[in-house]
Structure 1
Amino acid sequence: MNIDDVAHFCLSLPGAREDYKWGGVRVFSIATNKMFALQNLRGESLAFKVDKELFLGHVDRPGIHPAPYLARAQWIIMNTPYPLGAEELRDLLQRSHQLVVSKLPKRTQVGLLLEQRQ
């Protein structure tokens, strides 16, 4: 996946929107301010939230590191070319979205939760 593919996929998730912050970061969020992915505007990096119990396993992989300032919240970062295949990257971005949705108030979650694949 390239940077445009990632952006298109993130925006296809329920309730997703994008903002530009901090002088050059493309922020993908839901519910107005709950971030689930960050992309450097030059396309050099991508960061997103992962499951707490899988965080250490992800950062042990080549090309994947704890995200600066966000690692304590189980965010990882990777540079282009992304060290993951397209399907795995889409799955992780979707999971990041759902992790953030699951922390929203129940009334806000309606329409944002995706069905779990078998």
Structure 2
Amino acid sequence: MARKPVRGLTAAQLQALCGHWPGVTRDTKWGVDMVFSVGGKMFAVMPSDGSEGGRLSFKVDDDRFLALTDQPGIIPAPYLARAHWISITEPQRFATAELAAYILDAYTLVRAKLTKKLQAELGPLPTLKAERA
């Protein structure tokens, strides 16, 4: 019997996903927003209290910004859209694995803008574990 795919992403799941990646720090800004950064640069933001429907915002590749924001449940991130950030306003529409891949991409994009020296100090890029079927 096939399992139903897991959908959405909670604040605890986001912390478990990227909190241990090389160089990642977490702090709270703007009241309750959990902010994940690498090398002092933000790559993902989510309300820690689950407010706003569990909105999840993160950096995306410039070439994917328009295509992603054309999808239902995804908008340009307020205040950060000019830097090609999106907000997933309805995370339950998306598989958890898909959201995890977006977060890893955001981390990779931001990390790539750090100095070569800092990138080397951080070591290899993290990978996502394959889900069991």
State the TM-score, normalizing by the size of structure 1.
Answer: 0.88
Shift of 1:21: 1.1
Instruction: Give, in angstroms, the shift of residue 79 of structure 1.
Output: 2.7
- Superposition deviation, residue 113 in structure 1: 4.6
- Corresponding position: 1:42 with 2:49: yes
Q: Mark the structure with the bigger radius of gyration.
A: 2
Residue in structure 1 matched with residue 84 of structure 2 by the alignment: 74
Q: Does 1:29 align with 2:37?
A: yes
Q: Which amino acid is 1:16 matched to? A: V
Q: Deviation per CA, 1:23-69, whole angstroms, max 9, x where unpaired?
A: 221110111x2000001122231100011000111111110110001
TM-score, normalised by the number of residues in structure 2 = 0.78
- Do the aligned partners of residues 108 and 6 (structure 1) sit closer, same or farther apart at CA in structure 2, a change above 3 Å counting? same
Q: Which moved more, 1:88-97 or 1:74-83?
A: 74-83
- Structure 2: state its 5+ residue gaps: 1-8, 129-133
Moved over 6 A (4+): none
SS in 2 for 1:82: helix
How much does 1:115 deviate? 6.9
Structure with more relative contact order (C-alpha pairs < 8 Å, separation 6 or more): 2
What displacement does 1:22 show?
1.6
Residue equivalent to 1:88:
98
Bigger Cα displacement from structure 2, 33-42 vs 62-71: 33-42
Task: Provide the rounded CA distance (Å) in 1 between the counterparts of 2:43 and 2:124.
Answer: 14
Match of 2:14 among 6, 10, 18: 6
The equivalences for 1:79-118 within 5 A come to 79-110=89-120, 111-114=122-125
Listed one character per residue, the Cα deviations across residues 85-114 of structure 1 (whole Å, up to 9, x for unaligned) are: 112111110010010010001000012551
User: 8 Å contact 1:49–1:73 — kept in the other structure?
Assistant: yes
Q: How many pairs align?
A: 116
Contact 1:15 1:112 survives alignment (8 Å): no
- Summarize the Cα distance change of 1:82–1:3 in structure 2 as closer, same or farther, 3 Å threshold: farther
